Structure 1
Amino acid sequence: MNTKARLTFLLIFATILGYGVINIFQRNEIITDIYHEQLFGTKCIPKEHIFFLKVHKCGSSTVQNILMRRGYLREKNFVLPKEGHYLGHPEPFSKSCVDARFLRPTEHFDIFTHHSRFGPAGVTEVMPSDVKKVAIVREPAKLFESLYNYYKLNRGGYATSLKALLQYDLQQLKSMAKYHQRWGGRIGFNQMAFDAGLAANKFDSKDEVDTLIGMMDTEFDLVMVSEHMEVSLVLLAELMCWPLEQVAFIKLNARPSNSGARTVLTDEEKEKLRQANGADARIYEHFKRKFRKRVDEYGRANMARKVAELKGLNEKLTALCIDKVIPPEDASKDYPVFTYQINDGAPDICKLVVMEELKFTDLLKQRQLERFSHFDDFDYFMNAAAAD
């Protein structure tokens, strides 16, 4: 490192110390690109283009918030839906799903992190060639229980409690998986397989599921495992060449443990759900094995140190931001999850950390429209100048 680089390093290091805990989570967003090698001793270049398959009820809202927060602070361009928070779905994603106000003929986007049903060709249309693709999986019995209670499928989907549903024999459940109308056209059995693009009538086809798994192996640079969120985020930070500060999180969309929000299942019932969600079970087992191998390659001792570091950062972020955790008033109502009250005088980063997805999406649209309007004004100026 030459003298100029050393002085730069010392200046940046002093700046970080001076700004303290708040700027662990804010200033770091700016300095990392330019001084990553001096600060962290690595030669990788931080990557800015990411596609995240936001699989239902896999802890994906927590990951999405990390990506939205980082992109918002760095003024990155997001693939945003026309309305709500779905980019298509149940139809596979295509460019036509994007809010037309953000489409530019010669430009790609930086971040894709809203709910979609995976369509590789559509993703290629809107994301640059160096995009990193990431997905997430969860143990199928846990996923289906969470899905069933979060979306209240006892009312609108299957019109019975989860316990009562599990009284059906396995073949009846598998038939429901293939032929029963999905809630909203989106939600039901084998949710991971469906979100990844597999048609419901192919759930019990070994060849079709094998093909899907092969496609995911080819398309995705990382498949995270929800039960190991901190480990997954360490691997994400490594993949993207981001410091751990940029993947610190506070868990979102968490449900209380009382009976109104959860169903306690026996081991037999869990196994029955795994068999009824057979496509998901095969996806999960495949990527869990691959995940373990990736952790072994990373080094388990090194991973343990990084996970401890990330947990420490999460604790600092929680202390900085959170005054109170607020349980849902009525766990029997729709979407019963904890919310947060932030500390008085908390920095702006804290509002982003706990911001609900729809509100954050509106904020991204507003900021992106402001940026794009400036581009339009500039294009108009340049075209007018060329005409003179």
Structure 2
Amino acid sequence: MPKGGNLFTFLSRLRWQLKATLLFLLTALIVRLGWVIQHTVTSSYPVGKSTSAKYLSKMASSNYASNLGYFESSISHNESDVPLILQSPVINMTSYEEADEVTVGSSGVTSHEKMSKISKKTDPPQFENMKITSHPDDLTTLSSKTECKNTWSVKPKGKPASKIVFLKTHKAASSTVQNIFLRYALERNLTIALGFKELDSAQLGWPHFFRKDFAYPSTKGTYDIMCHHMRYSENVATVMPSETIYITVIRDPVQLFQSYFFYYQLDRQFKIAGETDPLETFSKNPGLYEHKWEKVSPVRNVMMFDLGLKKEYMNDENMIEGKIKEIEQRFHIVLIAEYFDESLILMRDLLNWSNHDILYFKQNIMSNTTKRTISDATKHRLEQWNKADVMLYQYFIATFWANAKKFCLEKLAAEVNAFRSQLKQWQSDCVLDVITGNKMYDPLYKTYNPNALSYRLRPGGHGNETCVNLAKTEIAFTEEMLNRMKKTKSLNFDANYAITIKKGSPEEKELLKRLAAIKG
């Protein structure tokens, strides 16, 4: 029995050692929890450097950014070969690429009153000594060491907003945002502004400044929603109610210009496609090429062009600053493509909408193209060339973070996480896989550009109206809205369009050239 006795003694000692260890760990845990509770109560998560770091850590994790990882097996098992929409990048750095080179796999009193509450910044960023960056470290400089209180009290009282102007900028996630507004209009039988079909229903006179005779007139005098490409002018206010909410979206200017340059094949138009780096070649002497295309569409400061800055002021800092301030006064919110989901949450509250209203599938995403990198020298030259866009982005990226801070960063992080879970569920339920437009035969989902990504729906998705509308392309959606408003007689289709061009004139040649470039 001595052997058994030794075993009994050993087990007894082991039991007491385990008890002591567990007691120690429990005590440490209680102490730790007490510290956390005390820290929370006393400081309420101050939005300073430490809290910003916590938030950024969440944003940088693949779990936090997992809304892009829905179709892991649809095209490739190698993440480097998966389209951006299928990957799980750091969402706050490269969350959105629209039509990009990615590797496969005035006037209403009510309106101005709202703007004074919504768009105004207590400490507007200065134009001087600012460098362009969307790096999340900016958050630490924009945050203060005050308690985190939600002061983003912008929801309109009463019903959700349904009078909206969305200024659709080029190559800045705008097709995806547009789909949100088209879906909202369709579900609620709202009247949207559409261009004359003889020209292009999806454009409202662009690249000309908007005039009300560029679109089919509304039979009730005003539209509910404007969300197609146009060049902004105060004439917009003459066809919209005074309570209209104005929204636009912007993107890092260099990334946007690169996307714009290759999407519209400017390298071919300028006969430099054979160069090793056409964008670098262009950046070394952009003025040499500008005159070849400037009468057709902008070759610099694309966002500011869309927002209404005249060409002769594109390099005039005083005029640029003045225009930016005009934009701030008119537009209730400027979305940031690099912080897409965060922007949508802020927009949701502005419009008094629900998460369901802002659901999206990414639209107009390019695939199977060579990933182009930009050298620091080329980037610097492009920043100088697109000076007005850089100043615009500097100003409103700061505004975005100021609004995010008002919303409360911790709350914003939680809201974004919940929203992304919904996105993931909808894409899982609706989408079978993602293919290129040249392989898609259903006209509802076939992209005009054969290299753009299309969504192939699951059998159950075809019977779900939300799934269908989320995946529908701009061309198909616009045609559907056109037919819908013919039936409801919401628009006057007997009107004549304003742009009259003589046959054989230089204006006709320029227009045909522009349309050919856009459509091919």
TM range (shorter): 0.7 to 0.9
2:332 alignment partner, one of 221, 227, 236: 221
The residue correspondences of 1:7-26 to structure 2 (distance < 5 A) are: none
Which AA in structure 1 matches 2:268?
Answer: R
- Classify 1:43/1:220 alpha carbon distance in 2 versus 1 (closer, same or farther; 3 Å): closer
- Trace 1:281-300 onto structure 2 (pairs within 5 A): 281-300=390-409
Residue 144 of structure 1 corresponds to which residue in structure 2?
A: 257
- Report the Cα offset of residue 151 of structure 1: 1.4
Confirm or deny that 1:324 pairs with 2:433. Answer: yes
Q: CA deviation at 1:237?
A: 0.3
- How far the C-alpha of 1:374 sits from its partner, in A, is 11
Partner of 1:49: 163
Equivalent position of 1:181 in the other structure? 293
2:252 maps to a residue whose letter is E
Distance 1:111-1:42 versus aligned 2 partners, 3 A rule: closer
Displacement, 1:268? Answer: 2.8
Provide the rounded CA distance (Å) in 1 between the counterparts of 2:271 and 2:160.
Answer: 46
Structure 2: segments with no counterpart, 5+ residues = 1-154, 440-447, 494-520
Which of 295, 307, 310 is residue 196 of structure 1 equivalent to?
307
Query: Is 1:98 the counterpart of 2:215 in the alignment?
Result: yes
Distance (Å, rounded) in 1 between the aligned partners of 2:454 and 2:196:
26
Aligned CA distance change for structure 1 residues 87 and 151 (closer, same or farther; 3 Å): same
Residue 149 of structure 1: how far off its partner (Å): 1.6
| Distance in 1, Cα, partners of 2:418 & 2:381 | 38
Structure 1 CA distance for aligned equivalents of residues 223 and 489 of structure 2: 12
Contact 1:53-1:118 at 8 Å conserved across structures: yes
Shift of 1:181: 2.3
Partner of 2:193: 79
CA distance in 1, matches of 2:387, 2:330: 22
Pick the aligned partner of 1:344 from 447, 459, 478: 459
CA contact (8 A) 2:359 2:423 kept: yes
CA contact (8 A) 1:249 1:317 kept: no
CA distance in 1, matches of 2:221, 2:191: 10
Gapped regions of structure 1 (runs ≥ 5): 1-40, 377-388
Using the TM superposition, give the Cα deviation of residue 313 of structure 1 relative to its aligned residue in structure 2, in angstroms.
1.2
The answer to whether the 8 Å contact 1:154/1:162 transfers is no
Could you give the per-residue CA deviations for residues 276-330 of structure 1, whole angstroms, max 9, x where no partner exists? 1111101011111111101011110110011111111111110121111003559
Following the alignment from structure 1 to structure 2, what is the Cα–Cα distance between the partners of residues 198 and 325?
38
CA distance in 2, matches of 1:92, 1:114: 13
Cα gap change, 1:81 to 1:43, in 2 (>3 Å): closer
Structure 1 residue 336: Cα displacement: 2.6
Aligned-partner residue type, residue 263 of structure 2: Y
Q: What is the rounded CA distance, in whole Å, between the counterparts of 1:258 and 1:230 in structure 2?
A: 26
Match of 2:229 in 1: 115
Q: 1:42 to 1:372 in 2, by over 3 A?
A: closer
Deviation, structure 1 residue 213: 0.4
Query: In structure 1, which of residues 282, 293, 302 is the aligned counterpart of residue 411 of structure 2?
Result: 302
Give aligned-pair identity as a percent.
26
Aligned equivalent of 2:488: 371
Structure 1 position 134 matched with structure 2 position 134 = no
1:62 Cα deviation (Å)?
0.3
Per-residue CA distance 1:43-73 (angstroms, 9 max, x = gap) = 6531110000000000000000000001101
How much has 1:156 moved relative to structure 2? 2.2
Report whether the alignment pairs 1:265 with 2:374. yes
C-alpha change, 1:87 and 1:235, in structure 2 (3 Å) is same
1:292 and 1:305 map into 2 onto residues whose CA distance is: 16
Equivalent residue letter for 1:327: T
| 8 Å Cα contact 1:204-1:279 kept in structure 2 | yes
SS in 1 for 2:489: helix
Q: Which residue of 2 aligns with 1:247?
A: 358
Task: Indicate yes or no: 2:237 matched with 1:124.
Answer: yes
- Sort the Cα spacing of 1:158 and 1:116 in 2 relative to 1 into closer, same or farther, 3 A: farther
- Matching residue of 2:268: 155
Residues 213 and 283, structure 1, Cα contact 8 Å, conserved in 2: yes
Tell me how far 1:343 sits from its aligned partner.
Answer: 0.9
Distance 1:290 1:340, change over 3 A: same
| Root mean square deviation of aligned Cα | 2.5
Per the alignment, do residues 270 and 365 of structure 1 end up closer, same or farther by CA in structure 2, a change over 3 Å counting? same
Q: Deviations over 1:94-133 (max 9, x none)?
A: 1101124xx32x531111000000012x211111000000
Shift of 1:211: 1.6
Q: 2-side partners of 1:309 and 1:336: how far apart?
A: 32
State how far apart, in whole Å, the 1-side matches of 2:346 and 2:271 are: 38
Partner of 1:59: 173
Go from structure 1 to structure 2 and tell me whether the alpha carbon gap of 1:162 and 1:156 turns closer, same or farther (over 3 Å shift): farther
TM-score (norm 2): 0.59
Instruction: Return the letter of the residue paired with 1:336.
Output: N
Residues 285 and 42 (structure 1), Cα distance of their counterparts in 2 relative to 1, 3 Å cut: closer
- SS for the counterpart of 2:165 is strand
Shift of 1:345: 2.8
Q: Secondary structure at the match of 1:223?
A: strand
Q: Which of the two has higher C-alpha Rg?
A: 2
